[in-house]
Amino acid sequence: MSATEHFAAQVRASARAGADVAWLNQTREQALASFEQMGLPTTRNEHWKYTAIKPIEKKAFAAVVGHVGIDDIQPFLFEGLDADRMVFVNGAYHHGLSRIASEGVRIASLAAVLADDAATVEPYLGKIADPRASGFAALNTAGLVDGAFVHVERNQAAARPLLLLFVASGNDAFAQPRNLIVADEGGSVSVIEHYVTLGQGAHFTNAVTEISVAANAEVRHYKVQQESDKAFHIATLQADQARNGRLHSYQVSLGGAIARNDVNTRLNGEGAEAEMNGLYLVDGRQHMDFHTNIEHVVPHCISRENYRGVLDGRGRGVFNGKVHVYENAVKTDSDMSNKNLLLSSNAEIDTKPELEIYNDDVKCAHGATIGQLDEVHMFYLRSRGIDPVAARSLLVFAFANEVLQTLPLEAVRTTLEKTLIARLPKADHLDELVQ
């Protein structure tokens, strides 16, 4: 059986277990047809040129029932974070571990919404993220069953952030979370997607999140991926933003053998603003790939993008940041930066800012750098008595922390800063910099 056949069989089985709704069945069937036609991407595809997903094809990933208790998830809740939470085990919603107060916001599992009230999500689901964008997006849509649904109504603000904890448990587990975040006009909500592995197993996560930001609405989306270094993680985030809608996307990628994130937004209404910040820490033989795409469809929109990578060991990183400015999108204001720190001579990064601009009346800046630790910085620290290992850790922390410092949720920020410090040698004292 080919990998395409294997995965097609998997999603057929899971789709049968999902809600039976005519429009959804059609969406799934069309996606499955797309998947069977496209298969999983190969490096011949320009968007997957640097990321070979062969290892994913070699394993028989399948639905696995996981057993997870409250003690297992405690370390992943971001100490001090006052949030609603939904827990998913191998992709399935776990009611017992979740805590939802839903003040100012509707929070439910997508499976429950599809069973009772599918019409609510029909205008969005499968319509924001194009199932044909890649074999993985098609595969997720073909097997669409469960995930989180978040809906904040007109001029409402969610009282608390929502933590979505995706736990993988057991070897060779295959999970396909599908999340939908809808902010109506003037609504605001913060959502944190956190992907973790219990144990050190190999598993495969293929996630899709769709976000609708209506006029004057604001969505803060955090994505923290720290699955095991044997895991395969593929994820797409696609947002649509209406007039004066604001999206803040914070991506932090720490785990996985192969981790690929597509982070995309369309600025469909004038005055919309997108902020996209990201940090990837790559070590060992990890491979991390970020593809971002900001589409300036209409005039007078703003986008700010700042991605940083630290690459060590034999790690490999890919960053492709696309900004697409449409012909009529005059007065576009866009700034993209990608900086990479190479700590080892065996580490590698491919970075490509990709600007497609179809009018002249725009302000678009971009920059990408690849460098090693600055010798002058190192000498300055050493000349003050700081030993070279501690000096190196200090500079790596400072470099990476410039992204983490942009995260508004303090509990998420400080937890990640401490996680970063714990990865660095002779860095205990850096805790003092975490406030």
Residues that bind other proteins (CB under 8 A): 375-377, 379-388, 390-391, 394-395, 397-399, 401-402, 405, 429-430, 432-433
CB of 377 to other proteins, least distance (A): 6
Residues 148-171, buried b or exposed e (16+ Cβ, 10 A)?
bbbbbeeebebebbbbbbbbbbbe
Beta carbon of residue 421, minimum distance to other proteins (angstroms, whole number): 12
- Rounded distance between C-alpha atoms, residue 158 and residue 225, angstroms: 24
Which one, 254 or 404, has the nearer CB to other proteins? Answer: 404
Residue 340 CB, shortest distance to other proteins, in Å, is 16
**Dist CA 361 CA 282 (whole Å):** 38
64 versus 311: smaller Cβ distance to other proteins: 311
Least distance from other proteins to the Cβ atom of residue 250, Å:
17
Closest CB to other proteins among residues 230, 426: 426
Q: What is the nearest approach in angstroms of other proteins to the Cβ of residue 427?
A: 11
User: For other proteins, which is the closer residue by CB, 153 or 402?
Assistant: 402
Q: Among 332, 339, 337, which Cα is nearest to 364's? A: 332
Longest C-alpha distance within the chain, in Å?
70
- Three-state secondary-structure class, residue 352: strand
- ∠ CA 153-239-197, nearest 5°, is 95
- Alpha-carbon Rg for the chain, nearest whole angstrom, is 21
* Distance in Å, CB of 403 to other proteins, minimum: 10
Task: Count how many residues are written for the chain.
Answer: 435
CB of 79 to other proteins, least distance (A): 22
Distances (CA, A) of 290 to 159, 194, 245, 252, 323: 31, 17, 24, 11, 14
Closest approach, Cβ 19 to other proteins, in A, equals 48
b/e sequence 174-190, b meaning 16+ C-beta within 10 Å: bbbbbbbbbbbbbbbbb
Question: Nearer Cβ to other proteins, position 172 or 387?
Answer: 387
Q: Which is nearer to other proteins, 364 or 386 (CB)?
A: 386
CA distances from residue 252 to 66, 111, 164 in whole angstroms, order as listed: 25, 27, 15
Rounded to 5 degrees, what are φ and ψ at 252?
A: -130, 120
Cα→Cα distances 410→82, 234, 395, 432, Å? 10, 27, 22, 15
Question: In the complex, what is the shortest distance from the CB of residue 124 to other proteins, in angstroms, rounded to a whole number?
Answer: 39
| Residue 263 CA to its chain's centroid (Å) | 7
Give min distance, CB of 399 to other proteins, in A: 7
Nearer to other proteins, 422 or 433 (CB): 433
Cross-strand pairs, 226: 196
What distance in Å separates the CA atoms of residue 243 and residue 273, rounded to the nearest whole number?
9
Residue whose CB is less far from other proteins, 285 or 429: 429
CB of 431 to other proteins, least distance (A): 10
The whole-angstrom separation of Cα 10 and Cα 146 is 15
Please say which residue, 67 or 384, places its beta carbon nearer to other proteins.
Answer: 384
Residue 266 CB: number of other CB atoms within 10 A? 23
Minimum CB distance to other proteins smaller for 16 or for 384: 384
The region that residue 75 occupies, defined by phi over 0 for left and psi between -120 and 50 for alpha, beta otherwise, is alpha
74 vs 435, beta carbon nearer other proteins: 435
